[in-house]
Amino acid sequence: MNRTMTALAALSLAFLSTTAIGQTPALDAAAGSALEGDSRAWDFVEGLTTEVGPRQAGTEAEARGRAWAMAWLKANGFANVADEPFIMDTWVPGDTARARVTAPFAQDLVVLPLGNSAATPAGGIEGEVVFFRTVDDLRAAPAGSLTGKIAYISHQMRPAQDGSHYGFAGPARWVGPGIAASKGAIGAVIKSVGTDHHRNPHTGGTSFPEGVDAIPAGALSLPDAENLERMFARVGDRPLTLKLEMNPRQIGQTQSGNVVGEIVGRNPSLPPVLLACHIDSWWNAPGAFDDGAGCGIIAAAALNAAEAGQPLRTIRVLMAGAEETGLWGSRAYSTAHLDEPIAVGLESDFGADRIWRFDSNFRETNPALHKRIAAAVARFGVSSGSDVATGGADLNIVRDQKGALVDLQQDGTRYFDLHHTPDDTLDKIDKAQLRQNVAVWTMVVGILANEGASIQTGGPIPSAPAIMRD
């Protein structure tokens, strides 16, 4: 017996010794096998990023991604695989993005457009830049005070295991340009909402209030943003001027879609377990972390749970389309299927690093099930949390139904180094951490798919967290 076989044998014995907490030996073994050698999640994300690449919502590239995912699901034995189409308003980034300080310290800055940004006129716009250290400072600016000017909006985001600083810094992107436009600005640039110091801007969606016309809005790389702030510290009373040129555009309505597939349960009349991810990415990266890995994780877990024995409930995977540009797929799926009850929903959309905490929204109303899951995943280094699960971005249907949710919290310490940048590539995935995700998901999905009783959540579902806003 070689060393690997010895380790697997020891691991199998350890798993079999824990089945008193409510898992079958077959499910324990499936989770153990996933931890040691699962390749399905890697196979999915490697294939998707290699053969399709970036998948901007509503474009031909996203359609190729859906077709690729459907072929993978069918080849791996999923039933009822389908592409459920929907129509969406579609924004594309164009092929020009330039920013240059024209005075007093003339030099180029690295910029990318934000989703829903308007284009500049040909040749760009130029204006005095007004520095806002926070979104609250921008909100406090007098009406009309930015007329003819360009707003620069900063923040102080830091890495965090739970990604909580995204909720703190995200408004600089989510609403900053819209506030600037409402006060007369002709353009806006933000410090990228991220934590790396590569010269890669972090794109992402922005929004404009009703009745406020979109303006050109871009994200500067963190080094360029910090350089701009050093310039402000030197200029004194002199104006700092910036030229900005970008050509994104709205191309009207196009078709996107949600990819679905199922592991059919022994009792298909029971509400299914819904596993979600999103298949689209921004145009500037192949989306390995966000969210190719998540789709690989949920698909692998569904297959592993099924190999432990046909589950009682159907396991349905939802690979949502057009998440990045406004949760179009999540909303469309809820609209189409709202009258079809879901037993419980889970989503993987926070990279591929290890899961460290388990939360549910039934900890108080179904403590036995919560404790059983917590005990089953403790062996993987996963703690039981006391937060109320709110579900991922693509689980609108479960929140709309006020249903049961599970959050398997991934380590987000380095997630915002990669998020929405050209660095979101396959080589950033740690295979051992990816396997830990699949093992945890296999165990949790197997338990939930074989739970015969309904899961009581005990009241309204909390609002989705800020971290869901891509």
Spell out the per-residue pLDDT of the chain, length 470, in tens.
Answer: 333 333 333 333 333 334 434 478 999 999 999 999 989 999 999 999 999 999 999 999 999 999 999 999 999 999 999 999 999 999 999 999 999 999 999 999 999 999 999 999 999 999 999 999 999 999 999 999 999 999 999 999 999 999 999 999 999 999 999 999 999 999 999 999 999 999 999 999 999 999 999 999 999 999 999 999 999 999 999 999 999 999 999 999 999 999 999 999 999 999 999 999 999 999 999 999 999 999 999 999 999 999 999 999 999 999 999 999 999 999 999 999 999 999 999 999 999 999 999 999 999 999 999 999 999 999 999 999 999 999 999 999 999 999 999 999 999 999 999 999 999 999 999 999 999 999 999 999 999 999 998 887 755 555 555 444 57
Determine how β-strand 355-360 pairs with β-strand 404-410: antiparallel
Where do runs of H (alpha helix) occur along 38-158?
40-51, 60-75, 135-139
Of the residues 227, 247, 267, the one at which a domain ends: 247
User: What DSSP character marks residue 105?
Assistant: S
Longest distance between any two alpha carbons in the chain, whole Å: 77
Of the residues 220, 247, 274, the one at which a domain ends: 247
pLDDT of residue 457: 76
Same domain, 169 and 207: yes
Q: Which structure tokens are listed for 206?
A: 């922005």
Same domain, 214 and 354: no
pLDDT of residue 458: 58
**253 within 8 A of 328, measured Cβ to Cβ:** no
Nearest-5° Cα angle at 243, 184 to 155: 65
Q: Sign of dihedral through CA atoms 13, 15, 17, 19?
A: negative
DSSP, collapsed to helix, strand or coil, labels residue 265 as coil
Amino acid of residue 25: P
pLDDT of residue 1: 37
Task: Report the number of distinct structural domains present in the chain.
Answer: 2
**Structural domain of residue 319, as residue ranges?**
3-91+252-468
Where do runs of H (alpha helix) occur along 293-344?
293-307, 328-337
**450 within 8 A of 313, measured Cβ to Cβ:** yes
- Contacts of residue 285, defined as CB under 8 A and 6 or more positions apart, other chains included, come to 54, 420, 421, 422, 423, 424, 425
Amino acid of residue 260: V
φ, ψ of residue 66 in degrees (nearest 5): -65, -45
CATH of the domain at 133: 3.50.30.30
pLDDT of residue 355: 98
DSSP, collapsed to helix, strand or coil, labels residue 21 as helix
Distances (CA, A) of 430 to 338, 353, 354: 37, 7, 9
CATH of the domain at 13: 3.40.630.10
pLDDT of residue 16: 34
DSSP, collapsed to helix, strand or coil, labels residue 12 as helix
Same domain, 136 and 56: no
Per-residue pLDDT tens over the stretch 335-375: 999 999 999 999 999 999 999 999 999 999 999 999 999 99
Same domain, 289 and 416: yes
Amino acid of residue 114: L
**28 within 8 A of 380, measured Cβ to Cβ:** no
DSSP string of 155-176, one letter each residue? ------TT-THHHHHTHHHHTH
pLDDT of residue 161: 97
The Cα–Cα gap between 24 and 309 comes to: 9
Per-residue pLDDT tens over the stretch 63-73: 999 999 999 99
Same domain, 233 and 375: no
The Cα–Cα gap between 421 and 277 comes to: 19
φ, ψ of residue 29 in degrees (nearest 5): -65, -40
Same domain, 266 and 382: yes
pLDDT of residue 21: 44
pLDDT of residue 5: 32
pLDDT of residue 3: 36
DSSP, collapsed to helix, strand or coil, labels residue 268 as coil
The Cα–Cα gap between 171 and 179 comes to: 10
The Cα–Cα gap between 116 and 132 comes to: 21
pLDDT of residue 464: 55
Of the residues 247, 277, 302, the one at which a domain ends: 247
pLDDT of residue 24: 86
pLDDT of residue 456: 74
pLDDT of residue 460: 52
Half-sphere exposure of residue 214: CA atoms within 13 angstroms, side-chain side? 19
Same domain, 319 and 459: yes
Same domain, 51 and 116: no
**45 within 8 A of 430, measured Cβ to Cβ:** no
Instruction: Provide the whole-model pTM.
Output: 0.93
DSSP string of 128-155, one letter each residue? EEEEESSHHHHHTSPTTTTTT-EEEE--
**157 within 8 A of 452, measured Cβ to Cβ:** no
pLDDT of residue 257: 98
Same domain, 296 and 444: yes
Half-sphere exposure of residue 213: CA atoms within 13 angstroms, side-chain side? 9
pLDDT of residue 152: 99
Same domain, 324 and 461: yes
Same domain, 356 and 297: yes
Q: How many CB atoms lie within 10 A of CB 26?
A: 14
Same domain, 311 and 453: yes
The Cα–Cα gap between 294 and 297 comes to: 5
